[in-house]
Structure 1
Amino acid sequence: MSKLTPFENATAGALGALSANTAVFPLDVIKTRLQVQTRELKSLNPDRHYDSTLDAFLKILSTEGIQGLYAGLGAGLFGTVASSFSYFYFYSYVRGTYQRKVPGEISTGMELILGAVAGAMSQICTLPVAVVTTRQQTSSKEEQLPFLATMRKIIEEEGLGGLWRGLQASLVLCVNPAITYGMFERLKTLYLRRAGNVSDRLSPGQTFIIGALSKALATIVTYPYIMAKVRMQWKPPKDVGGLSAKDKENITYKSSVDILQKVLAREGLAGWYKGLQPQIVKAVLCQAILFVCKDQFGTLTLFLLSFLTKAKNGSVKSLN
Structure 2
Amino acid sequence: MAAASKEATKLPPLSPFGNAVAGSLGALFALTIVYPLDIIKTRLQVQSKQSKTMMKENEYYESTFDAIIKIIKMEGITGLYAGLPAGLIGVASTNFAYFYWYSFLRSKIIKQGSMSTISELLLGAFAGALAQIFTIPVSVVTTRQQTTHVKYRKDLIGTAEEIISDDGITGLWKGLKPSLILCVNPAITYGAFERFKHLVSERLSNNNNGEELSPGIIFWLGALSKTIATIVTYPYIMAKVRLQWKPPKDDEDDEDNYINKKKSFKYERYSGAIDVIQKVYKTDGIPGLYKGMQAQITKAVLSQALLLYVKEYTTKYTIMLFILFGKLLAGKKKVQ
CA RMSD of aligned residues (A): 1.8
Q: Which moved more, 1:191-200 or 1:26-35?
A: 191-200
Which of 14, 35, 41 is the aligned partner of 2:45? Answer: 35
Aligned partner of 1:96 among 97, 101, 107? 107
Per-residue CA deviation, residues 108-156 of structure 1 (Å, 9 max, x unaligned), is 0110000000011111110000000000000001010010111011011
Q: Which residue of 2 is the match for residue 213 of structure 1?
A: 224
What is the aligned counterpart of 1:21 among 16, 31, 37? 31
Within 5 Å, which residues of 2 pair with 1:271-286? 271-286=288-303
Q: Cα offset for 1:264?
A: 0.5
Deviates more, 1:161-170 or 1:10-19: 161-170
Map of 2:236 onto structure 1: 225
Structure 2 counterpart of 1:143: 152
Aligned to 1:188: 197
Shift in CA distance, 113/2, structure 1 to aligned 2, threshold 3 Å: farther
In structure 2, the partner of 1:295 is 312
Instruction: Mark the CA change 1:122 to 1:65 in structure 2 (over 3 Å): closer, same or farther.
Output: same
Distance in 2, matches of 1:214 and 1:2, equals 27
Question: Match of 1:156?
Answer: 165
* 1:125 and 2:145 matched: no
Deviations 1:226-277, CA, capped at 9 Å, x for gaps: 0000000001011465564xx53x6111111001000101011000000001
The 1:119–1:198 alpha-carbon spacing in structure 2 relative to 1, beyond 3 Å, is farther
Tell me whether 1:81 sits opposite 2:92 in the alignment: yes
Q: Which runs of 5+ in 1 are unaligned?
A: none
Larger mean Cα displacement after TM superposition, 174-183 or 38-47? 38-47
Q: Does 1:106 align with 2:123?
A: no
**Contact in 2 for aligned 1:35/1:231 (Cα 8 Å):** yes
Q: Describe the SS at the equivalent of 1:132.
A: helix
CA distance in structure 1 between the aligned counterparts of 2:232 and 2:115, rounded to whole angstroms: 23
Q: 1:200 to 1:79 in 2, by over 3 A?
A: farther
Structure 2 matches for 1:257-268, cutoff 5 A? 257-268=274-285
> Does structure 2 conserve the Cα–Cα contact (< 8 Å) formed by 1:38 and 1:251?
no
Report the 3-state secondary structure (helix = DSSP H, G, I; strand = E; otherwise coil) of the residue aligned with 2:47.
coil
1:292 to partner: Cα distance:
0.9
Alpha-carbon distance change, 194 to 46 in structure 1, aligned in 2, over 3 angstroms: same
Residue in structure 1 matched with residue 255 of structure 2 by the alignment: none
Give the fraction of aligned pairs with identical amino acids, expressed as a percent. 52
Q: Partner letter of residue 35 of structure 2?
A: F
TM, length-normalised to structure 1 = 0.93
- The TM-score normalised by the length of structure 2 is 0.89
User: Contact conserved, 2:175 with 2:241, CA < 8 A, in 1?
Assistant: yes
Q: Is the 8 A contact 2:174 2:244 kept in 1?
A: yes
- How far apart are residue 305 of structure 1 and its match? 2.1
> Equivalent residue for 2:214?
203
Report the alpha carbon displacement of residue 304 of structure 1 after superposing the two structures with TM.
Answer: 1.6
Contact 1:20 / 1:286 at 8 angstroms: preserved in 2?
A: yes
